[in-house]
Amino acid sequence: MSEGGPAVGRPLALGPVRLRNRFVAAPMERNYCELDGTVTDRYTAYLARRARGGAALVFAEAAYVRADGKGRLRQLGADTDARVPGLARLASAVHDGGALLGVELNHGGRTAQSAVSGFQPVAPSPVPCLPAGGEPPREAPAAEVYELAAAYGEAARRCREAGVDVISIHGAHGYLVHQFLSPAFNLRTDEFADPLRFLGLVVEAVREQAGPGVAVGLRLSAHEGFEGGLTAERTFELVSRARLDLLDFLDVSAGSYEAGQWSIQPAEWEPGLLAPYAGRYRELGLPVGVAGRINTAESAEAIVAGGLADFVSLARALHADPDFPRHALAGRGYRPCIACNYCIDRLGSGEPIPCTVNPGAGREHLIPAPAPAGRGAVPDALAKHGAAPVTPAGPGAVLVVGAGPAGLEVARLLAEQGRRVQVLEREEHVGGLVALAGRLRAYPEHRRLLRWWAAELDRLGVSVRTGTTATREELARHEADAIVLATGGTGRLPDVPGVGLPHVLDVRDWLALGQDVPSSCVIWGADREGVAVADHLAAEGAEVLLLGPQPALAPDVGRRAKILMVPRLMENPKVRILLESTVSAIEPDRLLVRSGGQAEWLPAPGPLLVSHGVVPRPGLLADLLADRRPRLGVHVLGDAGDNGGSLHGCFAAAAEVADALARACTRGQALTPDDTPRGGLRPDGSSPERGGPRS
């Protein structure tokens, strides 16, 4: 922290506008618009909530400037005058939250696909984008290139008319402007072979139409991240010759579609890793922002105070906790983004993107907004830590059994409502599968999530007893109005000969033992857990045979979640992968493996780790059904019921149970069947239908 307060808390001028601090909510695609690109109430409430959370400048996502540049089904549009009223609603809502509104102007170029836009993609040259679908684009004639540049200008006019404060030209991540800059995608021989020609036309058009009261900037990729693309040196050389005299700021990111890990970084990469690239751009005399896994208050402060950038652009961090800026400036805790990329991987579905750790993300429109606070202020109602609406406390002591992710989150939510909460955990530590995952190479941020829970439960006065098994006798000692079972499950071991041998373990049980890395091992199950453990062990030097019935590695997660793991495993000579394969028999040092209708005995030294999902533990539930049930019911969460299988599922189910108990406590009566969330027991003791085990 610099003298006089944190550097990130100081105001900053971007041309004609002034930011109240250095936190910027970066452009992030969300699937919150109508199919025609029109703003919805969901979108308005989402951005307004980030404004109230303390960000100085809140960007909408990249808005397409022409219909053939649309890249997502529910992407924001700035392509016609019909979009102006929606943009105006965004501006008004963000201004009421005390922030400025920014819009990023974009055209997908070769990354757009006709299945989404209805048009053949247009690009500098006919080079398909395989990660986006691989449809061959047509090369834009020179006259049309001028029309495309003019479309950016017209979109800027619409933004100005709507009351937008800041416009950013998207020149990064492999979209149209970036394509003209890149030697990999601009193969032209006419005037637009000059990589700066199109960018210059766009900057001129936007600057002219934006007017003197709107700040105009350029978002750029410091490098493209793949061989044959723009290097950091070449990118800097190009940008230094661009029309900087017409710009008010630069915003530095990295990557392209062919190297998406640089655009949306995985958890195992260092926070703020792009800041050194941004530092060089400050030589050009404009305010500079930087993105790239800035998800801690410490990394944001170090970047600004250290002179590497003038502001920080945050996307996923504010998706996870909209109050991150306010809490960071006040030195308080915040819900951490764990960089799991569940949000990004859901974009292709066309459904509103969720957040693993924040089930309220994208649901802000369902909560009444506070009264407008005016520009430059944060509503007093949000001064309380947590910022979520809290149900008035009523009667209700709740016993939570199990301190895994579902148990910890429901305990936190119930304590926020004023309930008296006690947590029992049979292990000597809390965290369950999150604690185990935090030991793996791919999931270092899970440890931050556990630290956040520990701090929150301490702040809220929740009693957590570890090393305590919840027997029938133990439960009888507690006078609870409700019991929440979050006891997890047991690893599912398939019924094959030899599965009971001592070297056969569920992958979770093996991790819990904390044993040394074996020289060799077999992992049976190529799902998310199996692949993550295989990746970790292989990185530690183990020879790994990874096999499973899955047709691909970790098909239960999206591409971004495994963007580093899968290539590493496939390229590692010490890893053998057999997909669409199963084990028919197990012996101490070999396996009978069936693949493609053929069976073969394979050598299998070392432990055999099985990853076939979990099944609930029914014993404690049966005991509760046999004894007196609490008046507000028994609820089953996470892998103990049918709402585990993922962190997102645990968070969402915990929110459902907390909401149901809040309603019951407010009424002062027992739950009715309609009140019981999925996975909970009904007041009559019956259990809803439950699906099979989930990995």
**Rounded CA separation 526/8 (Å):** 44
Whole-angstrom Cα distance, residue 48 to residue 90?
8
Task: Give 476's pLDDT tier (boundaries 50, 70, 90).
Answer: confident
**Mean pLDDT value of segment 229-241:** 98
Do the beta carbons of residue 669 and residue 675 sit within 8 Å? no
494 pLDDT tier (thresholds 50, 70, 90): very high
Q: Is the pLDDT of residue 404 over 90?
A: yes
Per-residue pLDDT, 689: 31
Residue of 631, 609, 634 lying closest to 620 (CA atoms)? 634
Query: What's the mean pLDDT in 655-683?
Result: 61
Q: Which of 193, 194, 107, 195 is nearest to 149 (CA)?
A: 107
- At 628 the pLDDT is 67
Give tens-digit pLDDT for 364-401.
999 875 554 443 333 332 333 333 444 334 457 999 99
Distances (CA, A) of 435 to 198, 429, 536, 561, 644: 50, 9, 15, 19, 15
Q: What is the pLDDT of residue 432?
A: 93
Q: Which of 296, 319, 482 is nearest to 400 (CA)?
A: 482
Contact 228, 183 (CB under 8 A): yes
How many Å apart are CA 318 and CA 329, to the nearest integer? Answer: 14
pLDDT at 210 over 80: yes
Q: Which of residues 377 and 530 earns the better pLDDT score? A: 530
Q: What is the pLDDT of residue 667?
A: 65
Is the pTM above the cut of 0.85?
Answer: yes
DSSP 135: P
Cβ distance 471 to 432 under 8 Å? no
Q: Which of 338, 182, 166 is nearest to 255 (CA)?
A: 182
Higher pLDDT, 379 or 595: 595
The stretch 237-241 carries a mean pLDDT of: 98
Question: In the chain, how many H helices and how many E strands?
Answer: 22, 27
Q: Are 157 and 205 in contact (CB under 8 A)?
A: no
pLDDT beyond 60 at 662 = yes
Q: Residue 103: which pLDDT band, with cuts at 50, 70 and 90? A: very high
Could you read off the pLDDT of 261-274 as tens digits, one per residue?
Answer: 999 999 999 999 99
Q: How many CB atoms lie within 10 A of CB 241?
A: 12
Tokens 């008010």 -> residue: 248
Mean pLDDT within 345-373:
85
**Using the 8-state DSSP alphabet, how is residue 255 labeled?**
-
Task: Note the pLDDT tens digit of each residue in 282-299.
Answer: 999 999 999 999 999 999
| All residues at 6 or more sequence positions from 334 whose CB lies less than 8 Å from its CB, including other chains | 297, 321, 323, 324, 327, 328, 452
pLDDT at 618 over 80: no
- Portion of the chain with pLDDT greater than 70, in percent: 90
Give the amino acid at 343: C
pLDDT digits (tens, 9 = 90+) for 535-562: 999 999 999 999 999 999 999 999 999 9
Contact, 218 vs 247, CB < 8 A? yes
Mean pLDDT of 358-366: 94
The arithmetic mean of pLDDT across residues 339-356, rounded, is: 93
Phi-psi map region of 608: left, alpha, beta (phi>0 left; psi -120 to 50 alpha): beta
Tokens representing residue 88 in the block: 């105006």
Q: How far apart are CA 508 and CA 431, in angstroms?
A: 13
Which tokens hold the place of 299?
Answer: 């990394």
Query: Across all residues in the chain, what is the average pLDDT?
Result: 90
On the CB side of 561, CA atoms within 13 Å amount to: 23
pLDDT at 493 > cutoff 90: yes
Predicted pLDDT of residue 377: 36
Q: Which residues contact 469 (CB under 8 A, 6 or more apart)?
A: 426
Mean pLDDT, residues 341-357 taken together: 93
Q: What is the pLDDT of residue 668?
A: 56
Taking only the tens place, the pLDDT of each residue in 153-188 is 999 999 999 999 999 999 999 999 999 999 999 999
pLDDT at 401: 95
* pLDDT of the residue at 388: 41
Query: Which contiguous run of DSSP H or E holds residue 324?
Result: helix 324-330
Q: What is the DSSP letter of 189?
A: -
Beta-carbon contacts of 488 under 8 Å, excluding residues fewer than 6 positions away, are 402, 404, 432, 433, 614, 617, 638, 639, 640, 644
d(CA 47, CA 169) in angstroms, rounded, equals 20
pLDDT at residue 690 in the model: 32
**20-51 burial, b if ≥16 CB within 10 A, otherwise e?**
bbbbbbbbbbbbbbeeebbbbebbbbbbbbbb
Quote the CA–CA distance of 419 and 421 in Å, as a whole number.
6
Q: Can you spell out the DSSP letters for 9-70?
A: GS-EEETTEEESSSEEE-------S-TTS---HHHHHHHHHHHHTT-SEEEEEEEESSGGG-
pLDDT at 61 > cutoff 80: yes
The number of beta carbons lying within 10 Å of the beta carbon of residue 11 is 11
The span from the first CA to the last CA of the chain, in angstroms, equals 43
Q: Using the predicted structure, report yes or no on whether residue 337 has a pLDDT greater than 80.
A: yes
Separation between Cα atoms, residue 178 and residue 191, nearest integer Å: 16
How far is it, in rounded angstroms, from Cα 93 to Cα 81? Answer: 20
Residue 423: strand pairing partners: 400, 464
